[in-house]
Structure 1
Amino acid sequence: MSTALTSSQTRFLRGQAHDLKALLQIGGKGVTPAFVAQLEEVLELHELVKVKVAAEDREARDAMIAELTSSTGSALVQRIGHTAVLYRPSKEKRQIVLPRG
């Protein structure tokens, strides 16, 4: 189940993600089960995560990002170049309070 965001929530999350550093990077092996498991843990801890995608062409990057969002149930907040911002609310303790609407 993917997280759906409204435009105001996406705008809010983009602002929150602005100062974040990329915590994870996908290399030449692509999206592996180990990488997905690590991303799950990081999303549970931080909720909002920047991921660097080291694929050469745009279609490959888009495919990897789509695979990440579907396998983790996260939402793509923003994608600029090789960097994607993913959001998924924590199951245990939520830290980010989204605006309504």
Structure 2
Amino acid sequence: MLTGKQKRFLRSKAHHLNPIFQIGKSGLTEQMIFEIEAALEVRELIKVSMLQNCEEPKEDIQAKFEEAGIEVAQQIGNIFVLYKESEENKMIKLP
């Protein structure tokens, strides 16, 4: 669980990032969670956008991320900022 200070730090780091995944009509699938976890292992911090045709509510998508052990540092509109500490190559040092 991230503290408020850590979330602010991660939001500032993610400001310049562009979303690298899009959640579409089929919602957040197990395969997509697997791919997001692989990207987080390499980058530790990513943005994911939710398309307008996605039928899942944002709360359900956020709950699925948390079930997978992925921290949601921020959710504004249809953009999620996700963080998961890398096991092999840690790049971000949290305050």
Regarding TM over 0.5, the answer is yes
Gapped runs of 5+ residues in structure 2?
Answer: none
* Aligned match for 2:11, one of 9, 14, 21: 14
| Aligned partner letter, 1:5 | L
Separation in structure 1 between the aligned mates of residue 93 and residue 18 of structure 2, nearest angstrom: 20
Matching residue of 1:92: 88
Identity rate of aligned residues, in percent? 38
Q: How many residues align?
A: 95
3-state SS of paired residue (2:20): strand
Amino acid of the structure 2 residue aligned with 1:82: N
**Residue deviations 1:62-84, cap 9 Å, x none?**
2112212312x111100000000
CA RMSD of aligned residues (A): 1.8
- Distance (Å, rounded) in 1 between the aligned partners of 2:72 and 2:57: 16
Give the TM-score taking structure 1 as reference length. 0.86
Unaligned stretches of 5+ residues in structure 1:
none
Question: Distance in 2 between the 1:77 and 1:24 partners?
Answer: 16
SS in 2 for 1:22: coil
2:74 aligns with one of 57, 72, 78: 78
